[in-house]
Amino acid sequence: MRKVEVTPFNEKWSLLFEEESEKLYRIYGDQLVEIHHIGSTSVPGLKAKPIIDMMPVVKNIQSVDTYNEEMLAIGYEPKGENGIRERRFFQKGGDNRTHHVHIYQHGNYDIIRHLAFRDYLRTFPEKTQEYGNLKHELAKMYPYNIAAYISGKENAVKEIEKQALQWYEKSQSKF
């Protein structure tokens, strides 16, 4: 059974992201536009489940499926869209997950949604603190119930995302 574990921020998470990014660049090559470190492990100071979320952006989402064997070879389980249209999802580590890869095609709105959420939390430390504390409390309340943990933070995530998108749109209009 998978345990819900939320830990203090770890400086090594960015290094783990960089190491894994190099592997993805070798697999996808010039199909890649860029790779972003997203999710809680990308926000300094944020308590997080120690799973590195990565968001490669590709030129053609359909081409991603042709690389499944290469992803399997480096330990990733291909999950297809996994409930989100126009995304390809991979997880590494089984019940002791270490990485999630969320691949989107260049221009997909979900890219902005993820980056706005990350950058908003990086910019507003009080929101980072509140969100981290909520996640920590939920992990203590539901150590073996990932569904309850996710459900418990759902309203907070929606509210942060709403604020983040408004902030992001305002910050982009200044340029």
Structure confidence by residue, pLDDT tens digits, 76-90: 999 999 999 999 999
Assigned domain for 164 exists = yes
User: What tens digit of pLDDT does each residue of 89-133 get?
Assistant: 999 998 889 999 999 999 999 999 999 999 999 999 999 999 999
Assigned domain for 120 exists = yes
As a whole-number percent, the residues of the chain with pLDDT over 90 amount to 94
Assigned domain for 3 exists = no
Assigned domain for 37 exists = yes
> Helix, strand, coil proportions of the chain in percent (round to 5)?
55, 20, 25
Segment 55-78 shows an average pLDDT of 98
Specify the pLDDT at position 1: 72
- Residue 91 pairs in a beta bridge with 77, 100
